[in-house]
């Protein structure tokens, strides 16, 4: 059976900490007593949760999602912003 590798993508990402203001675009506290934080996902037209220390990712098509810090560190490596992404496949 053939095997496939996920194409590399570049995302914009901001780490979220409630005490660090300003919060990333669209983040709001929904339930003050539970310290529940959400952001608006325009593509899904729904609120999505984000945890303290988690990351908010914005993809090239404008879609957004959140990941825990552990998920993010397993999946993404930092890149130098001066790097040209045009040499990436796909």
DSSP code of 77? -
Residue 5 lies in a domain: no
- Predicted pLDDT at 63: 81
Residue 26 lies in a domain: yes
For the cut 70, the answer to whether the pLDDT of residue 77 exceeds it is yes
Q: Domain residues for 66?
A: 12-78
Average pLDDT over residues 14-41: 76
Average pLDDT over residues 44-65: 81
State the Cα–Cα distance between residues 86 and 62, nearest whole angstrom.
Answer: 18
- pLDDT classification of 44: cutoffs 50, 70, 90: low
Average pLDDT over residues 67-81: 87
In this structure, the number of other CB atoms found within 10 A of the CB of residue 16 comes to: 19
What percentage of the chain has pLDDT greater than the value 90?
Answer: 9
The number of domains in the chain is 1
Residue 52 lies in a domain: yes
- Predicted pLDDT at 72: 92
Residue 17 lies in a domain: yes
């Amino acid at each position: 059976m053939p095997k496939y590798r996920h194409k590399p993508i570049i995302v914009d990402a901001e780490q979220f900490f409630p005490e660090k203001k300003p919060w990333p675009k669209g983040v709001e506290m929904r339930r003050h007593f539970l310290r529940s934080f959400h952001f608006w996902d325009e593509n899904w037209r729904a609120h999505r949760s984000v945890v303290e220390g988690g990351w908010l990712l914005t993809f090239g098509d404008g879609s957004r999602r959140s990941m825990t810090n552990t998920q993010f560190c397993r999946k993404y490596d930092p890149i130098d912003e001066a790097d040209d992404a045009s040499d990436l496949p796909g």
